Amino acid sequence: MKFNDGRTVSTAAEWQERRSELVELVQHYVYGHLPPAPDKVWAKALSVRNLPDCQANEETLTLVIDSKKQLRMRIAIYRPLGARASPLPTVIREEHALGHTEEVARIMKRGFMFVEFAREDLAPDDPKAESPAQNSYPQYDWATLAVWAWGAMRVVDYLESRDDVDLSRLIVTGHSRGGKAALLAGALDDRFALVAPNGSGCGGAGSFMVKEDGVETLELITRPNRFGYWFHPRLRDFAGREGELPLDQHFLKALVAPRALICTDALGDKWANPRGNRVTSRAAQIAFEREGAGSKNGLHFREGEHDFLPADWDAILDFADWHLRGRRPRNVSRFFLWR
């Protein structure tokens, strides 16, 4: 709530101005700058079938992104069998490839559509491999997580052309590295009404500055033989001196307000820094309250290890039912463990 030059943010207009500074800071120091939306995104159908076990109709498509560059990314869309014609709230998930249908039945049963996209079609998770997206936009300094986040936004560009998707109720989620990208996408693109990173840790919902023994630190994650390529090279300059960064990950969380956010984590997943997730949620609350959205800053912890489990999905879908469909679940205090 202070501008880069030290002035205090007091009015709503000043908060909007400060938000622009946050957007620039997270791109400059952490992820690199994303290109703007392309002129056009369209789809070529690949396959359609029913999956009776999941009670879903599955469509697979290839998105073609930008009329000149024609980047390609595969997506799969699941719609509950027998759903009424009206548009449905839709969950969009970051995945390295398609076909992770284990959660489809659960999502269908709750009356959501589900879209999975193959983010590695845009940028493989390998610094030595050719990256179609980065090659197509050589003037942008975006790192791999930024490419994947941009991919989630391009899915929305395409969904805007369909009439079975409720565009006012889009949820973006992902696990681990996919959770980091989901949080970035949700912070930068306000078409996502609920942002739900799971187990996203360092470079996601976890703090860079607040870390206990056993967490993945900025120094560890940005090592050249680890995941340096996920981030802008500038981030590594702060290894071991995170306190000098002019930001931490609560900036991303604050950018989600007044939309809804739920960051799910496992208590046994020390590497992903559950304590640092709690601290950034607490720090971001001021932004949610300023926007009159104090109950939309959710956090959920379950027992266990690093994974994306039914308990995480239930927490996310319950939070979605509450904030996107007005169905308040019992026991909402489980969402505010940062308090």
Question: In sequence order, which residues have a C-beta less than 8 Å from that of residue 3 and are 6 or more positions away?
Answer: 9, 14, 17, 18, 21
**Amino acid of residue 149:** A
Residue 180 CB, shortest distance to ligand GTR, in Å, is 6
Comparing CB distances to ligand GTR, the nearer of 119 and 302 is: 119
* Phi and psi angles of residue 182, each rounded to the nearest 5 degrees, phi first: -65, -40
Comparing CB distances to ligand GTR, the nearer of 221 and 299 is: 221
Task: Please give the residue ranges that form the binding site for ligand GTR (CB under 6 A).
Answer: 176-177, 201-202, 216, 221
Using CA atoms, how far apart are residues 61 and 75, in angstroms rounded to an integer?
Answer: 5
Which of 227, 261, 244 shows the shortest CA–CA distance to 143?
227
The residue number whose beta carbon is nearest to ligand GTR equals: 176
Residue 145 CB, shortest distance to ligand GTR, in Å, is 10
Instruction: Tell me the pairing of strands 260-266 and 113-118.
Output: unpaired
Which of 166, 162, 184, 339 shows the shortest CA–CA distance to 253?
184
Residue 226 CB, shortest distance to ligand GTR, in Å, is 7
Comparing CB distances to ligand GTR, the nearer of 89 and 199 is: 199
Using CA atoms, how far apart are residues 161 and 217, in angstroms rounded to an integer?
Answer: 41
Residue 196 CB, shortest distance to ligand GTR, in Å, is 16
Comparing CB distances to ligand GTR, the nearer of 232 and 259 is: 232
Residue 221 CB, shortest distance to ligand GTR, in Å, is 6
Comparing CB distances to ligand GTR, the nearer of 108 and 143 is: 143
Comparing CB distances to ligand GTR, the nearer of 22 and 272 is: 272
Residue 105 CB, shortest distance to ligand GTR, in Å, is 24
Lay out the sheet containing 41-51: strands in order across: 41-51, 56-65, 71-80, 113-118, 88-95, 165-175, 194-198, 260-266, 297-302
